[in-house]
Chains A and B, each alone.
Chain A
Amino acid sequence: MAAPSATATALGTSTVEHFRSALERALAEADADERLGPLLSATHLRMRFEFTDAGLGLNVAAGEEGHNLTWSFGAATWPARLVLAMPVAVANRFLQGAESLAIGIARGQVRCDGESRAALQYLPATRLLSGSYRRVVERDFPDLLVA
C-alpha cells in the first residue's frame, strides 16, 4: 500500500476518519440486514478497495460463522479476485450511488484489476452497499453527503 499522498493531506484527517467510520458502519449494517446480508454473501465476495489518496485499504469478503460479510482495513490479507483503486472523494460519491464506476475508469480516476467474471459478479453487489452507506452518511456524517 502506498503512503498517503499530498492529496491525502489536503483531504484532512477528519474526512478520512469519517469516511472510514462510515464504511465500517455501512458494512456492519449490510452484514446485519436480513435481506441485503445474504444477498451479498451469496456473491462469494472477495474484493479489495484501495483509497489511493488516503493510504487506506479495505478487504471485503463473504463472511463465515454466522456473518454474511467480513472486512478489515489495512494490508491485503488474502488474494482478492477484484481490486478497485480510487481516491476517497470518488469512492465516497460511488458508494452513495452518485458516480458511475465505469466513467471513473474512463476518466482515469478508478483502477480496476481482476477477472472479468469477478467484475460481473461483484459490481452489482457493490452497488447494493450504496443504500447502507448513504443512510449512514445522512445520519452520522453529513459532511460526506453528496447531492
Chain B
Amino acid sequence: MPEREEQISLTEAAEISGVTPSTLKRWAAAKVIPVRKGRWTRTAAAQARVVARMRERGHSLEDLRRAVRDGRLAFGYVEDLLPGNRERAIPRSEAAERSGLEEELIERFMTLLGTPTALEGTLSEQDAEAVEEMAKVLEAGFPLVALLQLIRVYAQSIRKIAEAEVRLFHLYVHEPLIRQGVEALEMADEMEGLARELLPLTSPLMEYIHQRYLRFYIEQDVVGHMEVDFGGLRQLGRVTMAFCFIDLTGFVRYTEEEGDEEALDLVERFVETVEATLPSEALIVKTIGDEVMIVSPDPVTLTEWAVGFLALFTERPQPRVGLHFGKAVYRDGDYFGSEVNLTHRVVARALGGEVMITAAVVDAIGTSAYLEFDPIGRVELKGVGEPVELFVARAREPED
C-alpha cells in the first residue's frame, strides 16, 4: 500500500498547477481533481494541471468528470515517480557563474533541449547541473559545434523514446484497464505499481544499447579511417558513403485496396526484413512511411544486398531501389546534400523490382563476379542540373 501523500497548502497547489485557488476549489467540488476532505496534495495539483490543459482544449467539466470516473485521467502516479521541479528557479546569470559559460550559450543549450525555462530566463537545479556537465565536456576539449549537434541529437532521440514509452504504456496498459472497467483508484494504483517496476529498468537498458552501438560505430570509424587513408577520400566535414533509398511501388494503391492496418503491417514487416537482411556495415538512417534510407561505407555489398533483397519479392507491391555513391554532410545523425537528393531522384525513376544505380556506384564496384549493370543512358532527373547516367543492377547469370 503506498504511503499517504504529504499534504500541501492550497496556495502551493495553485503554484504547482498554475491554476487560481478559487478555480482549484471549484474543480475539487466538481470532482475532477482528487481532493479528499480539503486535503491538497501534489498528485491533485498535477492532475489540476492536466485538467487546465483539457479545459483550454474545450472539454467541459462534465466530460472531465466522466474521464476521471473512467480512469482516463489517471496521471497522479507520475508525480510520485517523476517529481517535477520543486526547487527554486535559478536565474540564468547564476547558472552562467556556476558553469563558467556565457548566458547566451546556456540559453542555446536549453532551447536545443526543448526546456520551457529557456524562454523564462530561469533554470531548475537539474537544468543548472546539466549545464555544468556540458561545460565540463567543452573544457575537456570537445568542440562547441559538435556538442551543439550532439545535444540536438540527444534531445530528438530521447524525446522520441519518451513519447514511445508513454504511447505504448497507454495502448497496452491504460487502455486495457479502461476496457476492463477497472475502478479509477484501483487503476491508478495498478499503473503506478507497474510504472514503478518498469522505470528503473529503462536507464540500464538504454545504457546497454548505447554502449553496444558506441562500440559498433567506433569499430566502423576505425575501419573508415583506414580506408580513407588508403583511398584518399578525405574531405573535411563530409563523409563518403553509398546512399540507398528503397520503397514499395504502388503502396498508396495497396493501402486503398487493403486498408490502413494491412498496409501498416506490410510496412512494419518490410522494414524488419530490410533490417534482418542488411550486411553488418550498412545501417538504416531513417524510415519515412514505406521508404527506408540506408547508408553503407561499402557500395559493393550494399548493391549486392539490394539485388538479392528485390529477388525476394515477386508479388506487388514490389520494392524498388535507388543507389548512389558520393559525399554528404553528416549532421544530427542524418546525411544531407545534393548527392543524397540525387539518390532520392534515382529511386523515383526505378520501376518495381529494379535496382537503379548511378555511374559512381558502377565505378566504385568495378568488376563484379556477381553483378551486371545494364546502362539505360543519361536521364534527366528533377532538380538535378545535368542528365545523370543510370544503370540497372542485376545478378550475373551463372555461367554453364
Contact = CB atoms under 8 A, between A and B. Distances in A.
Interface in A6-60: none
A100 B277 contact: yes
Contact of A108 (B275, B276, B278, B370): B370
A51 B309 CA distance: 20
B370 A107 contact: yes
A101 B310 CA distance: 12
B305 A100 contact: yes
Nearest to A125: B276
B369 to A, nearest CB: 8
Contacts of B279: 100, 103
Main SS class of interface, A: helix
Interface stretch (A69-77, A114-122, A133-141): A114-122
A2 interface: no
Interface in B298-321: 301, 304-309, 311-315
Contact of A117 (B272, B280, B308, B315): B315
Contacts of B370: 106-108
A102 B315 contact: no
B305 A106 contact: yes
Contacts of B119: none
A124 B398 contact: no
Contact of A105 (B270, B308, B398): B308
Nearest to A43: B269
A131 interface: no
A121 B307 contact: no
B277 A102 contact: yes
Interface in B259-302: 266, 269-270, 272-273, 275-280, 301
Contact of A102 (B266, B270, B309): B309
Contacts of A106: 304-305, 307-308, 311, 370-371, 395
B273 A123 contact: yes
**Size category of the binding interface on chain B:** 20 to 34
Contacts of A108: 370, 395-396, 398
Question: Which of A100, A101, A103 is the most central at the interface, judged by chain B CB atoms within 10 Å of its CB?
Answer: A103
Interface string B163-193: 0000000000000000000000000000000
Interface in B53-94: none
B308 A103 contact: yes
A112 B315 CA distance: 14
A116 B314 CA distance: 6
A22 B399 CA distance: 34
A104 interface: yes
Contacts of A110: 308
A36 to B, nearest CB: 15
Interface in B349-400: 369-371, 395-396, 398
B296 to A, nearest CB: 11
A107 B276 CA distance: 18
B315 A100 contact: no
B370 to A, nearest CB: 5
A127 interface: yes
A46 to B, nearest CB: 16
Contacts of A117: 315
Given A116-B315, A124-B276, 8 more contacts: A102-B308, A102-B312, A103-B304, A106-B304, A106-B308, A106-B395, A120-B266, A120-B272
Which are the 8 A-B pairs with shortest beta-carbon distances? A105-B308, A102-B308, A106-B308, A120-B269, A102-B309, A124-B272, A106-B304, A127-B276
Interface of A: 98, 100-108, 110, 112, 115-117, 119-121, 123-124, 126-127
Interface of B: 266, 269-270, 272-273, 275-280, 301, 304-309, 311-315, 369-371, 395-396, 398
19 contacts: A100-B278, A100-B301, A102-B304, A102-B307, A102-B312, A104-B308, A105-B307, A105-B309, A105-B311, A106-B308, A106-B371, A107-B308, A108-B370, A108-B395, A112-B312, A116-B315, A121-B269, A123-B273, A124-B269
